[in-house]
Chains A and B, each alone.
Chain A
Amino acid sequence: MNECQKTQQYITDAVDNRLSEVDRNFFEEHIEKCPSCRNDFELDALTKDFVKTKITRHTTPDSVAMRIKQEIEKQVASEQRTTSIFTRYPLARAAMIAMVVFGAAFIIYLLNSPDLQNTVQAANMMDQSIENYDLFLAGTIQPQQFGQSVDELREYFRERVDFPVVLKPVKECEWVGGVLSDYNGLSLAHLVYKMPTGIVYVYQANWKEVRKGNKISLSNGAITSLSQTGWYVNGSHDKYSVVMWLYNNETVCTAVSSMEKSELKEMFSTETQKY
């Protein structure tokens, strides 16, 4: 590297007074005898000063600052409205209390419990949905977002999973909760409808992934029925009704509830609305 190249590398630091004494001595000696490097240095220093003096500093216009604060307060209010459902609905409150009692430790225990990991891995989507339903009822799983209607969950699910989340408005629904989770790298969406008669849980996943069966699987009977008719209602479980359906060949939904199977199917069989 010749002297000019070395000097060029020092110019920026020289303008900002950042050179060590040794480097500064070298730099100053060089620009004494090299007008080209000197001019480059002087031009940069001059430009820096010029820009600094010319630029006017602005304060945020009051109207803009106000609007931002209002928007944030709106968010705060909506978070509080959704969480205050806990105090309005006894079941949600019970779930909240259960959550506080068992706390994070219990969830960590669940996550690390080899039994559960094995059963979950071996289980198919239908078994998982039953298990999750029980966890919801026990309050072990908490919705992350609440709303008075599915519309209020639209924003929460937006672009966070790789399939359209089916957000079906349901009559007489008191509140609805949403959860996103990750299972073996698959993003899943969960909805909980609080009905006067109890909880309806809908588990949603990417249909292509479920068909592949690598991470979440389904019985051949269910896959065939879903592919041919879009529905699968034959699964037999002692405790609950389980109904599965396809949305747009992209999303597979599994609804679990203690209501009658036909009633459950009816609930989701009219025109479905996605986000």
Chain B
Amino acid sequence: MKVEYTPFHPRWHRPRVPVFWWLRRRSYLLFVLRELSSVFVAWFVVFLLLLVNAVAQGPEDYRRFVDWSATPGLLLLNVVALCFILLHAVTWLFTLSPHAMVVRLRGRRLPPAVIGVGDLVAWMLASALVIFLILG
């Protein structure tokens, strides 16, 4: 009998995790909601491109776009999207980046709270600029 080499792989111990593991704790749920906010970031890109296209086509198309975005379904979608975008913005600017960014000033690391304040100022300036540009 020919003895062959059989590669043996030990079985890993992997406890089974239920699919909805993230419903068990508030912090887990928040994690998944933050991840899901990216879907609404992508939706915003689609919405923005449709708007820019409608404006470029002429006043008639623009009016039709505004009427379409005022339908209940789309309004609801955009309200939900705005909630998720705000969750993304708040967690990104005030929880993630103050701890992830290492900014050194004269050899010392800036404390996270200072970076958070910087983010807040940047956010307010960017929003003011957007509103100023669009509303003139």
A and B, one complex? no
B residues with a Cβ closer than 8 A to A are: none
